[in-house]
Amino acid sequence: MRPKENIEKFVRVRKPHVTTSRQMDKRTLDDSFAAMEQTIRTKSAEHKPSVQRISILSRMIKLTAAAAVIIVTTGLIAVFVDRGIGEKPDTNTVSEIVKSPVEMMTAMSLERAFQRGGIEAVEEQSRKAFRPLGLKPKNLSFDQILAEFNGNCHSTGRTRL
């Protein structure tokens, strides 16, 4: 056997055999149990929700549920009103609705004019629009303009201008 193994064996076999005293056992176990109980109590107090917290939580849950129901209902109503229940979804593209960029610009400017000053502002806007063309929109009514936006220009509006 090598010297290193000799010395290792020497140390290993002479491991001290110590026994604890009864006093020490009692003191250590009592203190350990007390520490354990204290830890369990502290943890359970941390995790146990108070009555007030439960009621607040309950109220919050109720309010959240109510808000969720309102939002979903409103959303569904909005969708069905827009499209109509059971109707086929509107698949028209912008280019199909608006025939030309000029029409789109006109529609936008009239829309803004209406928002700004109502029917009077729309009429003023249309007057301004037709003035450079040398046309006299005296006979042009608001209904005719709307009809033109809706794509009926061939049937009514332009013929009268």
Which part of the chain contacts other proteins (CB under 8 A), choosing from 4-12, 55-63, 86-94, 97-105?
4-12
Q: Amino acid letter at 122?
A: V
Q: How far apart are CA 80 and CA 86, in angstroms?
A: 8
Comparing CB distances to other proteins, the nearer of 31 and 82 is: 31
Q: How far apart are CA 113 and CA 119, in angstroms?
A: 8
Per CB under 8 A, 14 contacts other proteins: yes
Comparing CB distances to other proteins, the nearer of 2 and 154 is: 2
Q: Which two tokens stand for residue 25?
A: 């056992």
Per CB under 8 A, 2 contacts other proteins: no
Phi, then psi, of 60 in degrees rounded to 5:
-60, -40
Contact between 142 and 123 under an 8 Å Cβ cutoff? The reply is yes
Q: Which two tokens stand for residue 71?
A: 């939002």
Which part of the chain contacts other proteins (CB under 8 A), choosing from 21-29, 109-117, 127-135, 136-144?
21-29
Per CB under 8 A, 48 contacts other proteins: no
Q: How far is the CB of 78 from other proteins (least distance, A)?
A: 51
Binding residues for other proteins (CB under 8 A) = 3-4, 7-8, 10-12, 14-25, 27-29, 31-33, 35-36, 38-40, 43
